[in-house]
Structure formats: C-alpha cells, structure tokens
Amino acid sequence: MDEEILERAQAWLAQDPDGQTRTELRDLIGRASADDADAQAELADRFDGRLVFGTAGLRGRLGAGPRRMNRVLVAQAAAGLAAYLNEKGGPDAPPSVVIGYDGRRNSQVFATDSAELFAGAGLRTILLPRLLPTPVLAFAVRHLGADAGVMVTASHNPPDDNGYKVYLGGEDQGSQIVAPADAEIAAHIQRIADERTVSELPRSTAYERAPESLVDDYVAATAAVGPAPAGAEGMRWVYTAMHGVGWETAARVIEAAGYPAPVTVTAQLEPDGAFPTVSFPNPEEPGAMDLAFETAREADAELVIANDPDADRLAVGIPSPDAEGGWRRMTGNEIGLLLGWRTARAAAAADAAAGASLACSLVSSPGLQAVAEHYGLAFHATLTGFKWISRAPGLLYGFEEALGYLVDPDVVRDKDGISAAVAVLHLASEARAEGRTLTDLLEEFDETFGAFVSDQVSIRVDDLAVIGRIMTGLRADPPARLGEVDVEAVDDFGDGHEGLPPTDMLRLQLAGGGRVLVRPSGTEPKLKAYLDVRGDAAAEAASRLAALRAAVSALFDALSR
C-alpha cells in the first residue's frame, strides 16, 4: 500500500462534506488497507493527481478523490475561480458570476455549493432559477453583463460523469475560457487545495436568483433566429431531449417561433440523470436515436430533431430509403454546411458581407470555406472547440462536425442546439413550401459548390502511450501515399501552424484536394483521423472517400501493432 496515497485519501475524507462519497471513500480505504489489490489500484487512480482544469473547465466521473467530480473538487474550483475573478476585478464593484446546472446527478448540489462559495468570496452571484440548458447560461453571461459564468454539466458524456464549464464576460464576450485564463484559474485552484480545507472556505447564502424574465428573453431572442414561414404549416416532425433539459425551453421557443408542435419521444422527454433508454446519451452514438426514428415511422414524420442532454448540440434525422429502418442521422458536416449556406445567403441579401465571416474547426468540412468565398465572406479555420470558433473575427456563423452550431453569435457565443433547431426547422419549412426536402437541399449544395464528403477512422487504446508513439512515428516518417493517392504535404500543428496555438495534430494534404487530419481525442482514449474529399459529383466523391478510408484504416492497423 502506497502510504502517501493513503495519507491523501484520509486527508480528503476528513474534509468531505458529502455523506455518500465519505462512505464510499471510507470503504475503499478500508479494503485497500486490508491488502485488497483492486481497492489499492482504485485508490491510486483517484488520488495520484487531480482532474485537469483546462479550456473545458472540469469533467470526469462522479466519486471521491481529486480525480473524480465531487463536492470537494467543485468547492476548490469555485474558490479558485473566485480568487481569479477578484484578482482581475476593478475597484468600483465586485465581480459578478452567473451559475447554471442541468439534470445530471449532483448538478444542482454542485451549483448551490458554487453559489455559496462565490458569495462568500464577495462576488455578486446569480443562480439560474432551475435546471436549464447550457445555451441559457451562455446567454445569461452576455445578457446580464456578468464577468463569468459556470455551467454544471457533462453534456453528452456517460451517465456517471459530471463537469464544470467556465465562461468569461467582458472582452471575452461570453465565450468559454482559453489560455492563459485556464492556467491562471488552475493555479488558484491548486493553491486553495494546498492551503485550505473545504470547511475553511467562506460561504454565504446571500446570492441572487435570476428572474424568469431572463429565460423569457432567451426564448424571444432564439425564436427570432427563424420565424416560421408559410411552409411550416402542417409539418410533421419528432423531437427528443435525450433525457436532458432541452424540452421545456425548446418547446417555448418552437411555439414562439410559430412552428407546429412536434411529436415527442415521451420516454426521453423529461430530465433523468440515469439516462435509462440509452447507454451513452450522445446522438452520434449508434442506437441513441433509435427511439426517435421509431417514433418518426409511427408518426409518418418528415424529420427528427434531437438535442443532447444539455441541449447545446443538435442532431437531425431524415427519411432515407437506403438506411436501415428508412431513417438516417445527418452528419454534423451536412447540417453545418446547410446552416452556413443559409447564413451566407442572408448576409448577401442584406448586403452585410463586408467584414463578416464564417468559421469552423480544422477537423470540420472545408466546404464551409467554399460557401464563404462564393458569397464574399471571410473564412476562419480554428482549433477544435467553440472556445476558438466563437472568437473568429466578424463571426456570423460557426460550426463543428461533432453536432455543434453557433448560429446567433450576438446572443450566444457558444454552440446552441435550440437556436440551431430553429434554423433547421426554418430551412426545412422553406424547402417544404417549394415541394422539397432537406435531402433536396443537400443535392443542391453539391451542385452549387461541389460534393464535399467526410468520414472518420479511429482506434481505441488501453494505453495512452500508444497514441503518443503513433503520432511520433507519423511525424518522423509520414506516408508518401494513401492507397493510390499521393500525399503532397504534411502540416504539423504541434508547434503552431497558420497562426494557431500549438495542438497535437497532423494534416496530410492529398493530390486531388483531399485531406486527412490525425489527432488524439480530447475526451476518450482514441486516435482519430478526419477524412475529407471533394468531387464534382456525390458518387465520385463517395468512391474516393471509401478508398481513402480503407487506406487510413490499414495505416492505423500497421502503426498500432
């Protein structure tokens, strides 16, 4: 038994205010002290380090210890963030912070703890009135002029996870934190953890509750993204909240925008942190939308709209005779390109292209650049994450292939699955008025800009060191060809490239305009390759993409041996 690990665990136990995690940790310490090897390994996993506070804040499994999400870790994070805000604040008024939370286990507890600690540190603290979607919190930071915002959510992670997402106001305009703020906050958190126990941190119940009018204002602003056109009348569609917090707010927005009420997936409509009908509450995961597609078949629906559990992402299902069950989920790139096209057309019609831009992450479809150039807009490719996309100069619209869309940057500087849903309903309704569908719009896009098709190849590893070895090997000896296609250039973003901050990613540029981007996953033990091909027609592009996928799969297989 590692005595240092045991001492850390006992010190943690002594300050833990949560009866459930105290019981859990006490039992684990007892079994580890009795030479239970599994308990010793578990204890080491929980106490050998701590969850890293980075540009996504904190996220991890619930449980006791500094490498889990719990009340001790959240208290340290709240106190550290408060110290950072007080250090940056001016002399005229105390800094202000607004807090939101979703329906996951312990979200409300973590939010209330944070409110008491922020108020105890002298901050003006505003707690949202109830569990609400992440976009409402992002909206509140801007709408209330707050210096910071905290959203307690793990978004679409597995049921046993929770997280702590941080936004900054002022010059950051309500975007998620980036360097150097993340490191500065992390340093304050570490100092708090080293110097004080949770019981020594000052608390106060003198915090405010945000009024219902704030939610009303979000609803009104979001409904204005795409008021229902004539084609919306009688439209049959299905909505699922994926056991999250999206429905109550989305329903109000849909009604305010004038769209017909959807048929709902009732088993997934209400918040439930156990996520009983899905093993992984992410619309991208296989099977996650099966109930929605079943409901759509029964209702003879025209499309399906799905939000993830905190409603910051959007998935769309459309009828497809070639798909099993007659329905398929549109890819994030397909949705992203259609919404980007919608934004660009509107900007051109309003003569608002000057100084305006579209943006997407590097791993998302390059088709957005073609749209921007066609309409005289600037284009920005950013690092992965809306913390970067939201900061693109002159931004009108941004997206990421992982089902994230920023359609109204003057209102919410983050991905928003509810405003994106309104935009998709607007597109579908306009097409419907002309006797067309979203599938027809995808075909028109290909005819206008060329066929952009994308795919992913990934390998999951048990040892993260394997990913490092593969990336090192690719840098030292990149392939000269992938299948029958020459690799014309290799761009290494590890030391910064194209003016972007350094990130662990390689881009292989292929003859004929294709590309492969390789990067470690930021949330899973995976190495991922993003494949993009452009062709004059969809069939040609699809054929080239299939060949590229086979070549990249073979490359990963060889490198992982």
Q: Which amino acid is at 73?
A: L
Structure tokens at 430: 């306009």
Domains 332-449 and 451-559 share a fold: no
**Measured distance CA(336)–CA(440) in Å, rounded:** 16
* Cα–Cα distance list, 418 to 18, 166, 425 (Å): 34, 20, 11
Residues 6+ apart with CB under 8 A from 1: 32, 33, 35, 40
The catalytic residue among 96, 155, 364, 429 is 155
Asked if the peptide bond before residue 180 counts as cis, ω within 30 degrees of 0, the response is yes
Q: Residue 436, class by beta-carbon neighbours within 10 Å (0-12 exposed, 13-18 middle, 19+ buried)?
A: middle
**Measured distance CA(128)–CA(107) in Å, rounded:** 12
**Measured distance CA(28)–CA(34) in Å, rounded:** 10
Residues 6+ apart with CB under 8 A from 251: 261
Q: What is the pTM of this model?
A: 0.95
Buried b (16+ CB within 10 A) or exposed e, 444-467: ebbeebbbbbbbebebebeeeebb
Cα dihedral 183, 189, 195, 197, rounded to 10, equals -170
Give pLDDT, residue 354. 92
CATH number, domain 451-559, options 3.50.50.60, 3.30.930.10, 3.30.310.50, 3.40.50.720: 3.30.310.50
Q: What is the DSSP string of 204-266?
A: -S--EE--HHHHHHHHHHHHTTS---GGGTT--EEEE-TTSSHHHHHHHHHHHHTPPPPEE-G
Q: Is 481 helix (H, G, I), strand (E, B) or coil?
A: strand
Q: For the chain, 561 residues long, give each residue's pLDDT as a single digit of tens.
A: 789 999 999 999 999 999 999 999 999 999 999 999 999 999 999 999 999 887 678 999 999 999 999 999 999 999 999 999 999 987 788 999 999 999 999 999 999 999 999 999 999 999 999 999 999 999 999 999 999 999 999 999 899 999 999 999 999 999 999 989 999 999 999 999 999 999 999 999 999 999 999 999 999 999 999 999 999 999 999 999 999 999 999 999 999 999 999 999 999 999 999 999 998 899 999 899 999 999 999 999 999 999 999 999 999 999 999 999 999 999 999 999 999 999 999 999 999 989 999 999 999 999 999 999 999 999 999 999 999 999 999 999 999 999 999 999 999 999 999 999 999 999 999 999 999 999 999 999 999 999 999 999 988 888 888 898 889 989 999 999 999 999 999 999 988 788 888 889 999 999 988 999 999 987 677 899 999 999 988 888 999 999 999 999 999 888 877
Give pLDDT, residue 193. 96
Which sequence spans correspond to the domains of the chain? 1-11+20-48, 50-215, 235-329, 332-449, 451-559
CB 506 within 8 A of CB 475: yes
CB 285 within 8 A of CB 159: no
Verify whether residue 419 is a known catalytic residue.
Answer: no
Residues 6+ apart with CB under 8 A from 339: 397, 399, 405, 407, 420, 423, 424, 427
- Reference 386, options 134, 185, 146, 184; nearest CA is 134
Give pLDDT, residue 523. 64
CB 9 within 8 A of CB 43: yes
**Measured distance CA(187)–CA(181) in Å, rounded:** 10
Structure tokens at 291: 């109930």
- Reference 288, options 274, 275, 299, 271; nearest CA is 275
The CATH class given to the 50-215 domain equals alpha beta
E strand or H helix at 550: helix 538-559
**Measured distance CA(157)–CA(363) in Å, rounded:** 20
CATH number, domain 235-329, options 3.30.565.10, 3.40.120.10, 3.90.550.10, 2.40.50.100: 3.40.120.10
Write out pLDDT tens, residues 239-293: 999 999 999 999 999 999 999 999 999 999 999 999 999 988 999 998 999 999 9
Residue given tokens 């070549």 in the structure block: 551
Q: What is the CB neighbour count within 10 angstroms for residue 26?
A: 15
Give pLDDT, residue 241. 98
Structure tokens at 433: 């008025």
CATH number of 332-449: 3.40.120.10
- Reference 555, options 508, 514, 511, 512; nearest CA is 508
Cα atoms in the 13 Å half-sphere on the side-chain side of 90: 4
Q: What is the CB neighbour count within 10 angstroms for residue 384?
A: 21
Give pLDDT, residue 257. 98
E strand or H helix at 371: helix 367-374
